[in-house]
Amino acid sequence: MKLEIRGLTKRFGSFTANDGIDLTVEEGEIHCLLGENGAGKSTLMNMLYGLLEPTEGEILVDGEPVSFSSPGDAIDRGIGMVHQHFMLVPVFTVAENVALGREDVRGPGILDRRASARRVRELSEAYRLSVEPDAIVETLPVGVQQRVEILKALTREAKVLILDEPTAVLTPQETDELFAIMRRLKAEGTSIIFITHKLREVRAVADRISVIRRGKVVGTTSPQASEAELAELMVGRKVNLVVEKSEREAGAPVLSARDLVVVDPRGHQVVKGVSLDVRAGEVLCVAGVQGNGQTELVKSLLGLVRAEGGSITLAGEDITHDSPRARLERGIGYVPEDRSSDGFVGDFSIRDNLVLDLFRSEQFSRGPALALRAIADNAEARIEEFDIRTPSASTHVAALSGGNQQKVVVAREMSRPLTVLIAAQPTRGVDVGSIEFIHQRIIAERDQGVAVLIVSTELDEVYALADRIAVMYDGRVVDVVGPDTPREEIGLLMAGGRDSTDGQNDVEDIA
């Protein structure tokens, strides 16, 4: 099936998200859509999938104009989509999720669960996806959840499959596995639109590449183009892919964790005895695939989740039982992983968010009253210093772009003297300009002697920042290696391939 897009435009009020997009996807082609966060890729795909109605322009399937008013229409025309945030009901089984919308029924709408399970099993075998139909989705690793999404599209006989940032949650090995599945699908004639901002992947799998920037297609090229060329197309200027960083001798350990254990609300251990030392003036990066305990590790360091076992010390003092507030006041700076849920209050102004954990200080309060003048002055200064692009200091943070939101969080955390900076996914969903800026600020903190702990799932970021790299897999730190360790080796560690504590851990989750 051939898919053509002609002059597709989408406006939200005065904001143009997509501007006259032209794109052709041939039958049996893997077409990469490359673009930064916020470039308009997802808007385009949501129009293709009937989730958004285009303001102008048309979509043609096999030369015939179509209009989708709902995803149902798109599905009927053979378009399938694997969303970046999975569209799976977490408490349902795999079979129920796959069946949803196309249920196997007996008589007057009675579910035929056995038939649904059989269907999943058959397709799963045919495409070698190894998915168990009766498993509850929320208990599955993300890689498997993604395969469930692919199954969903396949049962609907998708001829064009849209994959929206599918590799963000995968290990390098899982990514390779996904690419293999994509090639198998392509061989059967399925067209694939593969959306990503990772240059390396594009060149590995694409037949053709279209680059999208600020809502426009700025070029279509072949995978032979160099990474630097692609990056320049994507960002619109030359990109400095490396952070300038001087060599620095690390000092004494400042933040130390010993045998930390964290149990999630369902009673599973998610951090299984982690020990770490972060030293003054160094960046320790925790690398690993999403969901291997990094989130909980960081939250336990802050006291946001309780450590069921083990201890944490800060500058030699035990802080294991301190409240988050006490830890912040001891000089831990924290940039949380999910900024919109943990990092700021969306309904609050930038001004208020910039003092969210500082409002009690003498500078910003007079007894029980807020010092509004000081808070306003602080806002002006931080907006200037951190180049936060906003109409005014009283704009609600929810109204800012991802990059500027993150700058608000970073500005707040760096506006007080720190001994430790903990930043989880500091540049997720942030534009390239802001990434560069945030990376520079992090290195600047390190150079002032702050102990920095970065958690990142992006290996590029890990290499850009790290003085040492700790790799987490299945709730444990499997190894701590130097910053010059090859990518493949870290990839293997991230997949639990070399487990230093017990060698018996195989890669069964991925196969």
Partner 1 sequence: MSTSTAPRTASGDVAIRDRADVLRQVKTVVVLAIAALLVLLFALSVDDPKIYWTLEERARLDTRRTLNAHVVAWSAFGYLVVALVLAALNRIRRGWVAGLVFFGAGLAFYAGFLMWFFADQRELAGIGAISIVNPLPQTVLYATPLVLGALAGTLCERAGVVNIAIEGQFLMGAFFASVASSLAYSAEAGLLGGALAGVAVASLLACFAIKFHINQIVLGVVLIALCLGLTNFLLGQIPTARENPVLASYLNQPVTLDPIRIPVLADIPVLGPALFNQSLLAYLMYASVALVTWLLFQTRWGLRVRAVGEHPKAVDTVGINVARRRWSAVLLGGVFAGLGGAFFTVGSTGAFDQNPSNGQGFIALAAVIMGRWHPIGATAAATFFGFMLATRDQLSVLTKIDSELLSAAPYLATVIAVAGFVGRVRPPAASGEPYLKS
Partner 2 sequence: MSEAAATVQEEEKQERSARLRDDIVTTMLAIVAALLIGAVLIAFSYERSLDSLSYVFSYPQDFFRHSGDAIWTSYEAMVKGSVGSISALSETLERAAPLICAGLGVALAFRAGLFNIGAQGQMIVAALAAGYVGWTWDLPVGLHLLVSIGAAVVVGGCYGGFVGALKARTGAHEVITTIMLNYIALLGILAFALLHPAFQRPGQTEPLSDRVADSAAYPVIGDLHLGILVALLAAALTWWILDRSTLGFQLKAVGSNPEAARTAGMSVPMAYTSAMVLAGVFSGLAATMLVNGDRFAISSTLFGTIGFDAITVALLGRGKPLGTVLAGLLFGALQVGGRAMEATSVGTSPDLAQVLQALIVLFVAAPALIAALTRRRRREPPPAFAAPSTQEEAA
> Which residues would be at the binding site for partner 1 (CB under 8 A)?
46, 49, 51-52, 70-76, 81, 83, 86-92, 96-97, 99-103, 105, 108-111, 152, 156, 258-259, 261, 263, 265, 267, 269, 272-275, 306, 308-310, 474-480, 500-502, 505
Tell me how many residues contact partner 2 (CB under 8 A). Answer: 44
20 HSE (CA, 13 A, CB side): 1
For partner 1, the closer CB: 29 or 164: 164
Residue 70 near partner 2 by CB under 8 A: no
User: In this structure, which amino acid lies at residue 214?
Assistant: R
Residue 128 near partner 2 by CB under 8 A: no
Residue 386 near partner 2 by CB under 8 A: no
For partner 2, the closer CB: 282 or 431: 431
Cα angle 391, 394, 395; round to 5: 55
Closest separation in Å from C-beta 311 to partner 2: 21
Residue 343 near partner 2 by CB under 8 A: yes
Quick one: CA dihedral 279, 280, 281, 285, positive or negative? positive
Q: What is the footprint of partner 2 within residues 361-380 (CB under 8 A)?
A: 365, 368-370, 372, 380
For partner 2, the closer CB: 143 or 343: 343
A 10 A CB-CB count for 138 gives 12
Closest separation in Å from C-beta 227 to partner 1: 32
Residue 14 near partner 2 by CB under 8 A: no
For partner 2, the closer CB: 305 or 478: 305
For 408, counting Cβ atoms within 10 Å of its Cβ (0-12 exposed, 13-18 middle, 19+ buried), the class is buried
For partner 1, the closer CB: 80 or 143: 80
Which has the closest alpha carbon to 69: 52, 46, 57? 52
Task: Bin 330: left if φ > 0, else alpha if -120 < ψ < 50, else beta.
Answer: alpha
Query: Per DSSP, which regions of 215-292 are E strands?
Result: 216-221, 253-263, 269-279, 283-287
Contact stretch for partner 2 (CB under 8 A) within 36-44, 74-82, 219-227, 457-465: 36-44
What is the spatial distance between Cα 204 and Cα 355, in angstroms, rounded to a whole number? Answer: 45
A 10 A CB-CB count for 404 gives 21
> Is-contact 124 107, C-beta < 8 A?
no
Q: List contacts with partner 2 (CB under 8 A).
A: 12, 17, 37-38, 40, 42-43, 46, 52, 85, 302, 304, 323-325, 327-329, 334, 336, 341-348, 352, 356-357, 359-360, 365, 368-370, 372, 380, 391-394, 402
